[in-house]
Structure 1
Amino acid sequence: MNNKILRWSIIASFAGFLFGFDTVVISGADKTLQLLWNSSDVFHGSVVMAMALWGTVIGAIFGGIPTNKLGRKNTLLIIGILFSISAAGSALSNDPFVFAFYRFLGGLGIGASTIAAPAYISEIAPAKDRGRLVGLYQFNIVFGILCAFLSNYLLSDIGVNAWRWMLGVQIFPSLIYTFMAFSIPESPRWLYSKNKIDEAKLIFDKIGSKEDVQAIMEDLLRNSNSTPLNENIFMKKYRFQLILVFLIAAFNQLSGINAFLYYAPRIFEEAGLGAKTALLSSIGIGFINLIFTLIGVYLIDRLGRRKLMIFGSIGYIFSLSMVATSFYLNWTGMAVPAFLFVFIAAHAIGQGAVIWVFISEIFPNHLRASGQSFGSSVHWVLAAIIPSMVPILFTSFGVGNVFAFFAFMMVFQLLFVIFMMPETKGISLEEVSKGLTNK
């Protein structure tokens, strides 16, 4: 593998670290903030806890615009600035509405990163390594999640302002990432789409052999000559891609993954663990997530996207069913954490490893950012709605019933993978989109 491609991919994928850290770090401040501002379950869930997710929705819906207009690199730089401002502002907030505003800015960064980073990496990566390289983004997400859980645990006993340190520490990786992003080149496929053909050739020359560059340029020329300028992802010819993206994004959240990550300590306490043990168990979740994500990233270009999704779906159904059963039968001790470890492993090796890779592969070059924006929007709308409802759902329906619903949804995911999802392993981006268009 070309060392330059690997280095640029690692830098771009570090946006995923900030995504993962920002998403989960709030879990350590959950109950503290509710007590501090004396918030109701509804206000706390939908404003204080979920405002970053609503920012993510906006970032996902509109993130395709700067990714298309300004380029992949400039959008990645903007994302780093948003995360930096969000971390500092959240830590210094003295009011729930000000706090929510700064969390919203971080959410914008998360939403835009799910478009710009996978698009950038998929467009510089050779087909044989694309799954692993785009998978670095997911690896960094779970690494960020682990670091957030670990950071929360280490900072939990430093006093009444521990929550400020939990949220504020993110400014350091945010600034480091922003400076590193200056060193990467623009995506050559994006440059080509903007008729900056000489610049695109220069970057392609750096990342591939002359034969590879010639084949890619011929593919791009052939596709651009047959592509109307006024196309959009909602045209009938792209309907199948749109359905695929909608379903994989929706099922990702209907597994309950974000609901669990946001409220892991609270769920463990509901299962009978003490507050400190619950926080420590959350770190275990982070380690399991990291290990199985590494396995998923290793296997994605060997076994393919579909097989990993099948393994993950079966693991989801088993683990979520057992978590529900644990709450129904009042199993105490480590039963719930053990089954949730299996759940996280199933997610990491399946949906976690596959979703951003798959969404970045199936649309043609000129519609890739728009297609990813659509998929990310579906993902994040549900990621905002479901966690914001968790405190109410747990109170109204019981924890067991909520997890039983998630298990039921994963049966439908398994059917989707078996009967609808195509394999994209080892196929060029141009050939993937060509095979799915008009299907």
Structure 2
Amino acid sequence: MDKFTKAAIMFSAIVAFGGFVFGLDAALISGTTGYLTSEFGLDDLQLGNVVSAPALGVLLALVVTGAICESIGRKKTLILIAALYIVSAVTSVIAPSYEALVAARFLGGLAFASLSMASMYIGEIAPAKQRGKLVSTNQIMIVVGLTTAYFANYFLVGLTTNDPEFAKEIGLLGNEWRWMLGVEVIPAVLWGILLLTVPESPRWLISKGRIEEAKQALSRLMAPEKIDAEVEEVRNNLKADGGESLSIIDQLKILGEPKFRLAIMVGVIFAAVQPLTGVNPILFYAPMVFEQTGIGANAAYAQTLIIGVVSFIFTVLAIVFVDKIGRRPLVNFGLAASVACLLMCVIAFQQATYTLDAQDIATLVAANSSLSADSLQTVIGVTYSDDTQFKTALAGIIGAQEFKAVENQFIQAAVSINATLVLVGIVGFIAAFHISIGPIMWVVFSEIVPTQIRGVAIPLFALISSTISYFMQKFFPWMLNQMGGADVFMSFVIAGGIGFILLYRYLPETKGRTIEEIEHMMAGKHKDGEPKKSASLITDDEEQRKATS
């Protein structure tokens, strides 16, 4: 490997580090929900607003990022995004109120455009042989950031429990959520500094007619004797692209043409199904979900570590197998496994019961001076068949806001549930998601969308996915308390089941096909114009026969 390839890999790694910052930003909030609810007196919808604020910010970012990066360049846009991460992290840590925290996290959501920007930049500067793997490092860094966030939260909670005097001395005790969100600050600053060292995208410079600057950038990426030929090739490609490209308005006009319908349908189905399976609520509210099984706060934080490690392992496996096994088998397997694992959670919550005896009440009253033993006598010995009945009864006695502060203690004392089944179900779902519909969705989008409508279709799919993700995150606490664990997970099962049926029917296998072949296949025609079997009927067996014939 020559020094130029090493340099390209280094620059790609620096840009991909933004995925690590994104993973931190997205997952650190999972550890703060209980502390935020207590400190700011949040109801379910307000808590949902705090968690989902970045998802709302990214909706705006999706609209403006493309224009910004075309105007000021890839490098400056990435530096701007790093600055947004820094400002968001710092203002989140010092937020004096619920409203200020929501605003700070919304600002961080604007920086979530780093994901698409990183892939774009790496794709434009990476050597062809390493491009696929280097672009994939962005996804790896996201799950590394997510895993790091879970470990950081667990460490901070453990510190307050195991060494409260030291935690008080350093200002951690009573400020746990601020420390958790503060974990992001140093990585965000480091990323911003490192971005100053990367070159601007030569392709963007050439597209703007800044040839000498492009040659200077290329001198860091390839041998001097190759630069002129590379510049000429990029210029020719840009001319060809410009000659065939359509305006956004023109792309919108042809979006509904019959030859594009299958690609649009598959994209919309994928974009909707991925978030509707519940992955973001599970990832971003992980301790809250585990606490519903009565295992206690510390154990709940410990179990989130399993989620982080499993996410990393199975994302790596997806990258390894996507070009060996294919997109369609992994998606089919992943969705089927997701449904089965989520169904385990449904069964566990359906079979759960909630009963408090006199000793439980005495222990709870002794631990919480605000509780009255007399007022709680009516629930002693009563068995509730689901969590919503149990929570409603106690909230009516204690008061809704007061009950929120002690909810986990009551659940831990009263619940009888197969907690292992819930843990296996959630971990199994996370594994199935990360080896299939998680990373593969973006691979499929990049392959099935024809060049003519790519500028509109892929942002449309991203907008659909992000919008659904926003509402899932916003309303999850409310859904959990109003519908109960069994019904919430059943809604995820239904979404996954419908997604499996539709994608099994319509998703074609694109492994080993050129973009031109995929376009013809999705249009339902051979290259010579003769009718071709619908892509939905191209089965894995047929693909195997073609490969061996």
TM-score, normalised via structure 2 length:
0.71
CA deviation profile, 1:246-274 (whole Å, cap 9, x unmatched):
33222210110001111111111112211
Distance 1:271 1:352 in 2: 26
The Cα shift of 1:53 comes to 2.0
Q: Distance in 1 between matches of 2:316 and 2:418?
A: 31
Whether the 8 Å CA contact 1:132–1:300 is kept in 2: the answer is no
The Cα shift of 1:309 comes to 1.9
Deviation at 1:218, TM superposition (A): 5.2
Amino acid corresponding to residue 224 of structure 1 in structure 2: G
Q: Which moved more, 1:353-362 or 1:178-187?
A: 353-362
Q: Distance between the aligned counterparts of 1:183 and 1:301, measured in 2? A: 33
The match for 2:245 among 210, 227, 252 is 227
- 1:282-321 aligned at under 5 Å gives the runs 282-321=304-343
| 1:135–1:354 CA contact under 8 A, matched in 2 | no
Q: What is the CA RMSD across the aligned residues, in angstroms?
A: 3.2
| 2:17 paired with 1:14 | yes
* Structure 1 counterpart of 2:96, one-letter code: N
Question: Given residue 186 of structure 1, which amino acid in structure 2 is its aligned partner?
Answer: E
Shift of 1:303: 2.9
Aligned counterpart, 1:174? 188
Match of 2:461 in 1: 375
Change (3 A) 1:178 1:215: same
| C-alpha separation in 1, matches of 2:202 and 2:496 | 38
> Is the contact between residue 86 and residue 106 of structure 1 (CA under 8 Å) also seen in structure 2?
yes
Change (3 A) 1:249 1:189: farther
8 Å CA contact 1:118, 1:360 repeated in 2: no
| Partner in structure 2 of residue 421 of structure 1 | 507
Segments of 5+ residues of structure 2 without an aligned counterpart are: 161-166, 168-172, 353-416, 525-549
Identify the structure with bigger relative contact order (alpha carbons < 8 Å, sequence gap 6+).
1
Aligned-partner Cα distance in 2 for 1:356–1:309: 12
Residue 152 (structure 1) aligned with residue 153 (structure 2): yes
**Range 112-121 or range 267-276, more displaced:** 112-121
Range moving further from structure 2, 325-334 or 283-292: 325-334
Deviation at 1:149, TM superposition (A): 0.7
Q: Judge conservation of contact 1:60–1:374 (CA < 8 Å) in 2.
A: no
1:151–1:77 distance in 2 versus 1, CA, 3 Å: same
> Aligned in 2, Cα 1:320/1:129: closer, same or farther, shift over 3 Å?
farther
8 Å CA contact 2:348, 2:419 repeated in 1: no
Gaps of 5+ in 1: none
Give the counterpart letter for 1:39 in structure 2: L
The Cα shift of 1:80 comes to 0.7
Give the AA of the match of 1:346: A
Structure-1 separation of matches of 2:488 and 2:428 = 17
Q: 1:10 to 1:171 in 2, by over 3 A?
A: same
Map 1:17-416; keep pairs closer than 5 Å. 17-45=20-48, 47-110=49-112, 112-125=113-126, 129-156=130-157, 157=160, 158=167, 159-196=173-210, 206=221, 219-229=237-247, 233-237=251-255, 239-240=260-261, 241-330=263-352, 331-360=417-446, 371-416=457-502
Give 1:194 deviation, angstroms: 4.0
Q: For residues 85 and 93 of structure 1, do their structure 2 counterparts lie closer, same or farther at Cα, with a shift above 3 Å needed?
A: same
Q: Partners of 1:161 and 1:405 in 2: how far apart?
A: 35
Deviation, structure 1 residue 337: 1.0
> How far apart are the structure 1 equivalents of 2:328 and 2:127?
20
Distance in 1, matches of 2:11 and 2:444, equals: 20
Name the CA shift for 1:432/1:12 in 2 (closer, same or farther; >3 Å).
Answer: farther
SS of 2:435's equivalent in the other structure is helix
CA–CA separation in structure 2 for the residues paired with 1:19 and 1:366: 31
Q: 1:365 to 1:85 in 2, by over 3 A?
A: farther
Instruction: Give the direction of change, closer, same or farther, for the CA distance of 1:69–1:249 in structure 2 (3 Å limit).
Output: farther
Partner secondary structure for residue 96 of structure 2: coil
Q: Contact 2:318 / 2:439 at 8 angstroms: preserved in 1?
A: yes
Instruction: Kindly provide the amino acid, as one letter, of the partner of residue 119 in structure 1.
Output: M
Secondary structure of 2:32's aligned partner: helix
Shift of 1:244: 4.0
Q: Residue type of the partner of 1:106? A: G
Q: Which amino acid counterpart does residue 91 of structure 1 have in structure 2?
A: V
Write the distance in 2 (CA, Å) between the matches of 1:259 and 1:300. 26
Q: Conserved in 2, the CA contact under 8 Å of 1:64 and 1:372?
A: no
Alpha carbons 2:248, 2:455 under 8 Å: kept: no
How far has the Cα of 1:167 moved from its partner? 0.5
Q: TM-score, normalised by structure 1?
A: 0.88
What is the aligned-residue identity percentage?
Answer: 31
